[in-house]
Structure 1
Amino acid sequence: MDIRELTGLSAPLQQTAADMSDPRQHFAWALQFFPSPNPQMGNVPIHPTARPGMSEMLHAFGFRHDPELQTKWLIPGDHPEAGYLNVPKPVDRAEYEEYMAAHADPEADAEKWRDTAEKLLGKLDPKTLTRIRNMTPEERSAAAAVQREQLPAAFDRLAELRKQIDGEQQ
């Protein structure tokens, strides 16, 4: 499990990518939130690390997804910078297909994510954002190469910390 999964910042499992023969994925794509009893409060997100286990449990109880009976599909919420707290919207098939057609261009989606990352960095660390914006393409490439080398050690350290946290909670 990498840091994106632990923090809930990775893209959620989509229905189209779910392996329906895998009990841990069979429902995980749908288990992104609990419906709120009060519509004014909004739906309650489910942490991504809980979804596979919940999916497996429902599968063990005999539940199965039947695409012929499906009446709602999920599209992303309005705040992708919020990670798993960005509760998706359940919509009818027509709205889902309209959304998918509008987001079929991966380059446009990548640009949107870059914009979102810049906005987030601008709020968290405006000096770093300014420094990045002032870099030449060569400087950005060199900085990315250095960071790529540092990532495995950082993820290893985070995994160690996660084990410590899990050990303390037991």
Structure 2
Amino acid sequence: MTPEELFGENATQVDMISMILDAFPGQRDGVMVPIHPKARRPWAERLFARGLRVHPELMDEFPTPGDHPEAGWMNPHKWVPREKFAEYEQSRPTNAQAEQQLKNMLNVVDPQMLARIESMSDVEKREELARQAPHMGDMLARLNEARAQFERQTKPKEDDDA
């Protein structure tokens, strides 16, 4: 398996290390404890500086999306054996399907942004992605915090007298 097939095109060693640093085993019952996105990249950079390298062709298990994608970064990858990975990959939407879903969602939320993105050249898109990459973990964390706050505010109050 090539890095492109597993981690996406243009993935660096630091990107690959960041992607596998999604959760650590907890202290009991095999519960995985998610690693906050803000911590993943700095950890990956430190591990890379210390000589850690990812070789997908030597990996025995591969990450697939967890069972609860709505949980965002709190949803650790599900790791599957090499022989079952193809089965999981077939059930995932293709990159083209996922891209179309994102475009449809963006068209509903901000059609002008979609038009701006579609008018960019590939080079401009890569430059913009590189410029925004360091901020993605923080943005995702803020989205998750906002979602959690919304859920707390919309959750019915439980009766304390019961």
Give the TM-score, by structure 2 length.
0.53
2: CA distance, partners of 1:142 / 1:20: 33
1:83 shift after superposition:
0.6
Equivalenced residues, count = 113
Classify the secondary structure of the residue corresponding to 2:79: strand
1:64/1:47 CA distance change after superposition, 3 Å: same
Percent identical among aligned pairs is 30
Say which of 22, 29, 32 aligns to 2:22. Answer: 32
Q: Which amino acid aligns with 2:58?
A: L
Q: Which residue matches 1:80?
A: 69
Q: Which runs of 5+ in 1 are unaligned?
A: 1-13, 118-140, 149-157, 163-170
| CA–CA separation in structure 2 for the residues paired with 1:142 and 1:84 | 24
Give matches, 1:100-111, under 5 Å: 100-106=89-95
Once the 2 structures are TM-superposed, how far is the Cα of residue 106 of structure 1 from its aligned partner?
5.0
Deviation string for 1:97-132 (max 9, x for gaps)?
11111224457657998xxx9xxxxxxxxxxxxxxx
2:43 counterpart of 1:19: no
Describe the superposition over 1:16-38 as per-residue Cα deviations: whole angstroms up to 9, x where unpaired.
346235xx324011011112232
| Residues 102 and 43 of structure 1: CA distance in aligned 2, closer, same or farther (over 3 Å) | same
* Other structure's SS at 2:18 match: coil
Match status 1:49 vs 2:75: no
1:97 is aligned to 2:66:
no
Larger proportion of helix: 2
- Distance change (3 Å), C-alpha of 1:33 and 1:64: same
Question: Residues 104 and 146 of structure 1: is their aligned pair in 2 closer, same or farther, counting only changes over 3 Å?
Answer: closer
Mind listing any 5+ residue stretches in structure 2 that lack a counterpart?
A: 1-5, 115-137, 143-162
CA RMSD of aligned residues (A): 3.9
DSSP 3-state at the match of 2:58: coil
User: Match of 1:49, SS?
Assistant: helix
- For residues 99 and 11 of structure 2, the distance between their equivalents in structure 1, rounded to whole angstroms, comes to 25
Give the 3-state SS of the residue equivalent to 2:63 in structure 1: strand
Q: Distance in 2 between matches of 1:101 and 1:57?
A: 34
Alignment of 1:154-169 (within 5 A): none
CA 1:102–1:66 in structure 2 vs 1: closer, same or farther (change >3 Å)?
same
